[in-house]
Structure 1
C-alpha cells in the first residue's frame, strides 16, 4: 500500500518522520477521516474546512483546498487500485526543539493513509453501553479532531474489542455526550435530539450532515444538554461517523429499540445512499432545494 508523505507517494513501510516532530512530542496535530465512494470523496469540503480551522487554532501554517486534496486522493486511488476507500488525512506540526513552542509551525508533516473498503449499503446494528469513564473536556475553546485521543482509547479498553457495541460517554455533570468514535442521536415522538457542542463533543462532519438531512425532511432537531434518562426513553437511536455512516442502536442499557427497522433510520439511510457519491458539502443540500 502506498501513502502520501509531504508531496511524495511512498510504500507505507518506507515512510519516516523525525522524532522531533511536535505531533509526536506534544500531540500538536490533527486528522480527518473520510470515505470515498466510487472515486468520490464524500463531504470533502466540510472535512477540509474543519481541518483548516483546526490548523489555525494550532498555529500551523498550512491550508488545504478541494482541488489540491482531490488531486492527491485521486492519485492515491490510482496507485493503490482502489475505488472505495477509507482515507485518513494527518497533519502534525513538524520539527521543533524539545520544549513548548509559541511561534508558528511552518513545515508540518502531511501524511494521507488509504485503506480499501467494500461498497457501502447494508445498515449494521450495534448495542449502546454507558461508559463509566467520563468524557474529558476539550483542550481549548472547542474540541478538535486532534492527536489527543487517550480518553477514547481508555474508553475502548473499558468495553473491549466487541464490534457490536459502542460506548457512550457522559460528561462530568452527567449529560449525554458522544460515543467513543461517534456522535449520538435519538428520536422521541416527532423530535430528533442530539447533544449540543456545549457538552464538549466533537462537531462530527456526519453529525452536521445528518442535522441538514433532518431539516430537509422537515424534522424538528433539538441540540442541548440531556440526561441519560432522557436518551434512555428514545423511540429510535443511532450513532454516526464518517466511515460507519449511520449505525442503528438496538438496545441502550436494557432499553430495546427498533434498530435498522426504525422509520427514521431507514429514511436517513436512503438519503445517505442518494448523496454519498456526489456531494462535496452538506451546504449543497440547501442549494439543491432552491
Structure 2
C-alpha cells in the first residue's frame, strides 16, 4: 500500500516518523476518517474544517488546503489501483524536544493513508450494548478527534471483537452519550432524538449531516440529555459514522428494534445515497448547490 507522508507518496514499507514526534510521545495530534464514492471524498470540506479547528486547539501550525488533499486522495487511489477507499488524514505535532511544549508546533507530520472499500455498502445491523465504562470528559472545551483513544479502545475490549456490536457510552452522570466509534440517534413519535454536544460527545460529520438532512426532510429533531430509559419507548435506533454511514440497531438489552427495516432508517439511508458522490460540504446541501464532479 502507498501512503502520503509530508508531501511525498511512498510505499508503507518505506514510511517513517521521528521517535520524538509529539504525536507519539504525548498524543499531540488529530485525525479525520472519511470515505470516497467513485473517487469522490464525501463531505471532505467539513472534515477539513473540523481538522483545522482541532489543530488550532492543539497549537499545531499546518496549512491544510482542500484542493491539495483532493489531489492526494486521487493520486493514492490511482497508485493503489483502487476505486474507493476508507481514508485517514492524520496530523501530529511533529518532532520536538522532549517535554511538554507550550510554543506552537511548527514541524507537523502529515500522513494520509487508505484502505480499499467496495463501491457500495448495504445497511448492516448491529446490537447496541450499554457500556459499564463511562465516557471520558473532553480534553479541551469540545471533544477533538484526537490521538487520545484509550477510552474507546478499553470500551471495545469490554464488548469484544464482534463487528455486529457497538458499545453505547454513558456520561459520568449517566446520560446517553455516543457509540465507541459512532454517534447515536433514535426515533420517538415521529421525531429524531440524539444526545447533545453538552454530553461531551464527538460532533461527528455524519451526525451533522443527518441533522441537516432531517431539517431538509422536515423531520423534527430534539437534542438533549437523555437517560437509558428513553430507548425503551424508541421505535427505531441507529448509529452513524463516516465510513459505515447509517447503522441500524436491532437490539439493546432485551428490547428488539426493526433494524434495517425501520421506516426512518430506510428513508434517511435512501436520501443519504443521493448526495454521496457530489457533496463536499453540508452547507452546499442546505443551499441546494450540489452537482456532479469529476473526482
TM range (shorter): over 0.9
Match of 1:265 in 2: 265
Match of 1:209 in 2: 209
Q: 1:289 deviation in Å?
A: 7.8
Match of 1:60 in 2: 60
Contact 1:121 1:273 (8 Å CA) reproduced: no
Contact 1:55 1:63 (8 Å CA) reproduced: no
Partner-residue secondary structure (3-state), 1:240: strand
Root mean square deviation, CA, Å: 1.1
Match of 2:244 in 1: 244
| Cα-to-partner distance string for 1:40-98 (whole Å, 9 max, x where unaligned) | 00000000000001101100011312111101111111111111100000001001111
Q: Write the distance in 1 (CA, Å) between the matches of 2:289 and 2:31.
A: 32
Match of 2:105 in 1: 105
TM, length-normalised to structure 2: 0.97
Q: 1:284 deviation in Å?
A: 1.2
Q: Which moved more, 1:174-183 or 1:113-122?
A: 113-122
TM, length-normalised to structure 1: 0.98
Instruction: Within 5 Å, give how 1:1-290 maps onto structure 2.
Output: 1-288=1-288
Contact 2:121 2:244 (8 Å CA) reproduced: no
How many residue pairs align between the two structures?
290
Change (3 A) 1:289 1:89: closer
Q: Write the distance in 2 (CA, Å) between the matches of 1:13 and 1:162.
A: 30
Unaligned runs of 5+ in 1: none
Q: 1:2 deviation in Å?
A: 0.3
| Cα-to-partner distance string for 1:192-214 (whole Å, 9 max, x where unaligned) | 00000000000000000000111
The list of structure 1 runs, each at least 4 consecutive aligned residues, that deviate by more than 6 angstroms after superposition, is none
Unaligned runs of 5+ in 2: 291-295
Contact 1:170 1:176 (8 Å CA) reproduced: yes
Partner-residue secondary structure (3-state), 2:287: helix
